[in-house]
Amino acid sequence: MVQQSMSPNQATNQSEQPEKMYLPRTSESEKLKKIRHTASHVMAMAVQKLFPKAQVTIGPWIENGFYYDFDNPEPFSDKDLKAIQKEMVKIINRKLPVIREEVNREEAERRIQNIKEPYKLEILADIKEEPITIYHIGNEWWDLCAGPHVENTSQLNPKAIELESVAGAYWRGDETKAQLQRIYATAWETPEQLTEYKRRKEEALRRDHRKLGKELGLFVFSDLVGPGLPLWTPKGTLLRNLLEDFLKQEQLKRGYLPVVTPHIAKVDLFKKSGHWQKYKEDMFPLMADDEEAAAQEQGFVMKPMNCPFHIQIYQSELRSYRELPMRLAEFGTVYRYEQSGELGGLTRVRGFTVDDSHLFVTPEQLDSEFLNVVDLILSVFNKLQLKNFKARLSFRHPASDKYIGADEAWEKAQGAIRRAVEQLGMEHFEGIGEAAFYGPKLDFIFSDALDREWQLGTVQVDYNLPERFELEYVAEDGSRKRPVMLHRAPFGSLERLIGILIEEYAGDFPLWLAPVQARLLPVGEVQLDFTKDVVAKMQALGIRAEVDTSGDRLGKLIRNAEKDKIPVMAVIGAKEVETNTLSIRTRASGELGAISVDEVLDTMKSAIAKFENF
């Protein structure tokens, strides 16, 4: 038997676990909000001291820090960032008071014109309420701001502040306007918090799905194809298919009916659904036959959502109450015209596949069907080993005009969601204003290994689209009644899910989901026939196995398998061939020693079926 030491992956996983230090988001801490708001002003003051030609625009807090956008003739370098941070320390150590002042609009405009800051004039024009608030740092620098701020710069800890990077940004996010330079920074209450934040950032870089996706050969992007449009390699496509097949099987068990719909449709379909009126800015441009058709908004568009298509399938014939609930399901690819600056690997793309389903139910069936959908979503999360999530009741904002439908319909839909989570005893919180324009949602917000939040599964209650499309079914008494729709997607976006899973697993997929589940490592040419025979047996059982035929030394064979994050490795030397065994090493448990071929096959087959590791 061939023996070579290899540390168990369990020990590696333990050393990689993040320390349990709580790092509050800005929105969760009023104190941190004041610190970061003030630090952004100190940074802007430092920039204008060192670069007098720089003009400031906006400088808001974000959840893990803050940024400020500058219009400066020359690009900021890493050396400039160090100089700016050094200047910030000087300002903080001067213990300057932070003073709030209220002025009328005319006075604010006069002051802005005096310092020749045109961006501030645009910002002032957007401020509708008076008086106008200005915050001063000492008597040397000021900016329009609503606050809040600390009372004195001495309340900032310079050792808990760090400038991070420079990026390009368009004024007002408009590509036709001036390109600015955005300095990203972070600020915390203590240096220890900053150290932990930096550690998590380094861990995030190690887990970055864009980096790991390339290393593992899962997907690529091409400039010729365009940004936000991933190309899936054979291994990546296999991973997608595994996830799709897994959910399709779960859905078939639960009475879902598969459908397929086109990628484009007449714009009239989306006018009727309301997407064209409410969602046009996020859709790809209209494809019209000529200028006259374009002027009349007639032509085809790429679909941003699948629901109007499924409605057409339902509406293709008169339905009976006996056919309901009708559960139509599709892995449908949709297209959103995301701004280039908002794209990010797989988590924000322009073309993505939704595990979409639309359930047409009677009002009496609504509660039970909603609970069944939640049960499916929780089952999916369990199989994917996603445990750290919370439920958000995404309701409409009563003062917003972005929604369609009557108040009564919204109240009924929101009531159904609230009843469901209360019946399940599910921990939840309300997100006012997070509803889709046609209905409220129950969204599942997942926190990953680095405490970053992602929205994954969702289920939505919709009374409005059935009304807009005049959907009907024949009730038991022969009358025509209106069904209720449930929109649901346990994965959400398949692309985003895979990006999140790559980072959550750090590329180390569980056995059932790994594109390559086993790699056999023959020590020499003599063992190759035996190795190929074992691989054939594995493949006949549906195990995704391969042989490393590179002829490299054993140490390199093992290192390559580790680098490729193969769950099960089997070393095969003369002793293994003689005894019909495999020397097994797994990423989950380390070295397991010599095991008979038949036992390996049985164990792997059983573990995969049970969603377990070897």
Count other Cβ atoms within 10 Å, centred on residue 520.
Answer: 26
The answer to whether 145 is a known ligand-binding residue is no
Find tokens 């932070």 and name the residue. 98
Sheet arrangement for strand 484-489: 257-258, 326-335, 351-361, 484-489, 453-462, 441-447, 389-395, 428-432
d(C-alpha 60, C-alpha 44), whole Å: 11
**Stretch (H or E) spanning 271:** helix 267-273
> Closest by alpha carbon to 335, among 313, 311, 351, 322?
351
Cα separation values, 343 from 176, 184, 189, 493, Å: 18, 17, 31, 14
The answer to whether 37 is a known ligand-binding residue is no
d(C-alpha 581, C-alpha 575), whole Å: 8
Tally of helices (H runs) and strands (E runs) in the chain: 20, 28
The answer to whether 487 is a known ligand-binding residue is yes
Mention every residue, 6+ apart, whose C-beta is less than 8 A from residue 539: 545
Mention every residue, 6+ apart, whose C-beta is less than 8 A from residue 601: 537, 538, 541, 543
Cα separation values, 397 from 213, 394, 431, 437, Å: 39, 10, 9, 10
> Closest by alpha carbon to 384, among 265, 218, 504, 517?
504
CB 194 within 8 A of CB 39: no
Q: Name the binding residues.
A: 307, 358, 487
Annotated binding site for Zn(2+): 307, 358, 487
